[in-house]
Amino acid sequence: MASRFVRAAPYAADAMNLPVANADEAVPFYETVMGFHVVSRGEDPANTIILGRDDVQIGLAENGGDPAQEGCFFEVDDVEAAFEELRSNGLGREDAGFRIDRYGEVSYRVFFVVAPDGLCYCIGQPQP
């Protein structure tokens, strides 16, 4: 069973403007491994691709930014199912490396994914 992505929170200011060197080359990882689909494409002011999945959207943009310094936190409804889905889609690792991180008053069980484009994603589920 797939996990539902319910929220995307960017590490910096904008989940719709995540920097990549080549948006078109980045898309297959997001479609195949992460389960996103292309919502739209644009070229002004930079080549941009909007991706969607469940309740979230992100944007990949050829904006000159450093992808190694960017990414998003994705809140999911089942973090174990999310890892299993990504693993079975070709993530390329068997161990999620789950840990508990605290943000404000909420603890999350999380794992991390670094996309081939260099963007880093934290995927987590709130803990009781």
Residue 67, number of CB atoms within 10 A of its CB = 19
- Residues 59-94 have pLDDT tens digits of 999 999 999 999 999 999 999 999 999 999 999 999
Q: What are phi and psi of 31, to 5 degrees?
A: -75, -50
**The predicted structure's pLDDT at residue 83:** 98
What is the value of pTM for the model shown? 0.94
80: its two tokens: 């174990």
pLDDT per residue as tens digits for the range 93-116: 999 999 999 988 999 999 999 999
Each residue of 11-56: pLDDT tens digit?
A: 987 999 999 999 999 999 999 999 999 999 999 888 999 999 999 9
CA distances from 39 to 13, 27, 31, 85, 113 (A): 21, 11, 11, 21, 22
For the chain, what are the domain ranges? 5-126
Q: What class, spelled out in words, does domain 5-126 have in CATH? A: alpha beta
Per-residue confidence (pLDDT) for residue 45, from 0 to 100:
83
Rounded CA-CA distance 34/45 in Å is: 26
